[in-house]
Amino acid sequence: MTLPGDSSFPAEYKEKLDECDSVGPALRNLVEKNILPRDIMTRAAFENATVCILHTQFETFRRSHSTVS
């Protein structure tokens, strides 16, 4: 699980450090509100993630196998 927008920047970018700095306050908010992973990772969330992954893999496969000779 990550915050929205995380993993967008390469590790050596300054923006990655900003992403890391935003985790603490977000985590504190979750703890204060007693929000657990099972409250976030619902069946619908897993289904959505599966669709996104399958779509991404299909696009990668399609691009790598659609070369014109």
Determine the pLDDT at residue 58.
75
pLDDT surpasses 80 at 19: yes
- CA distance linking residue 23 with residue 6, whole number of Å: 10
Query: Which residues are CB-contacts of 37 (< 8 A; sequence separation ≥ 6)?
Result: 1
Centre a 10 Å sphere on the Cβ of residue 26 and count the other Cβ atoms it contains.
13
pTM score over 0.75: no
Task: List pLDDT tens digits, range 24-58.
Answer: 999 999 999 999 988 988 999 899 989 988 888 87
pLDDT band at 62 (very low <50, low <70, confident <90, very high): low
Q: Which residue has the tokens 């890391």?
A: 20
Q: Give yes or no for a contact between 9 and 15, defined as CB atoms under 8 angstroms apart.
A: yes
pLDDT surpasses 60 at 64: yes
